[in-house]
Amino acid sequence: MSTFRRLVLAALIPAAALSLGLSGTQAQIPSPAPAASASPSPAPSASPAPAASASPAPAASASPAPAASPAPAASASPSPSPTAPPAAAATPAPVQTADPFGLETTLEPKKVVMVKGTANWDSAFDTLIDAFKALNTLLDKQGIKHAGNSMIVYTSTDDTGFTFLAEIPVEQDPKNLPKDMSVGKSPEGKALKFVHRGSYDNMDNTYEAITNHLDDKRLEAKDTFIEEYLTDPLKTAEDKLVINVFVPLK
């Protein structure tokens, strides 16, 4: 897990923008000539038929003609009614949505209580959980509720580990804070949003995809990134985590 995460900040390097080309296609319209040539052919066949039958019995040939004309009129009226309902029923089709990947967004600053910490890569998640537990213990004792999702802000990384801020949004200031805790503001500004589902140890795949996306789009990122835990990391199984990853842009 640690190898890629150690280098992810260094991979967020600036460049230019991509452009996309669109190509058009031409549609061919079939000629209506065959339809026109088909209609005259029944016309000559219909004219000799009355000429031959006119001399023996003119009255008999006139009676089938009216009987044939109401038949098409009756068959034409029911046909539109069955076809209209199926067309209307087929219109509302289910739409499947995917998690955002590289969605441009703007982070709004929130009041947070935070604790600073350092971690090595081998026990990274356990260290983050301990930081969240310390913050929750403080807030529970003072009866202060969360005003948003828990966050981790990575401030620096190296080969052995990283430094971070564990943050929980609040609406009121806690009292009697320990030395390593403080009240401040969460990060703000333009950022790209990505979503990770699964364990913390498998986040290397997500960060590798993020770095590839930045390289492909030639985007310039700041030297930090933020994880917002949509599922409570203290109560959710590690392989069921859902985490928003925000990459601030310059």
What pLDDT digit, counting tens, does each position of 2-43 carry? 455 656 544 553 333 333 333 343 334 344 444 444 444 444
Side chain identity at residue 156, one-letter code: S
- Whether the model clears a pTM of 0.85, i.e. scores above it, the answer is no
Q: Return the residue matching tokens 């052919």.
A: 41
Positive or negative, the Cα torsion across 69, 70, 71, 72? positive
**80 φ, ψ (degrees, to nearest 5):** -65, -35
Task: Write out pLDDT tens, residues 43-101.
Answer: 444 444 444 443 444 444 444 444 444 444 444 444 444 555 554 455 554 544 578 78
Region class of 199: left (phi > 0), else alpha (psi between -120 and 50), else beta: beta
- CB burial of 177-209 (b: ≥16 within 10 Å; e: otherwise) equals eeeebeeeebbeeebbbbbbeeebeebbebbee
Q: What average pLDDT does this structure show over 155-167?
A: 94
> Which ranges in the chain belong to alpha helices (H)?
2-11, 33-38, 42-46, 48-54, 58-62, 64-68, 70-76, 80-90, 124-141, 203-217
- The pair of structure tokens assigned to 247 is 């990459």
The answer to whether the beta carbons of residues 192 and 249 sit under 8 Å apart is: yes
Tell whether the model's pLDDT for residue 213 goes beyond 60: yes
Q: Classify domain 100-248 at the CATH superfamily level.
A: Regulatory factor, effector binding domain (3.20.80.10)
List the domain boundaries for the chain: 100-248
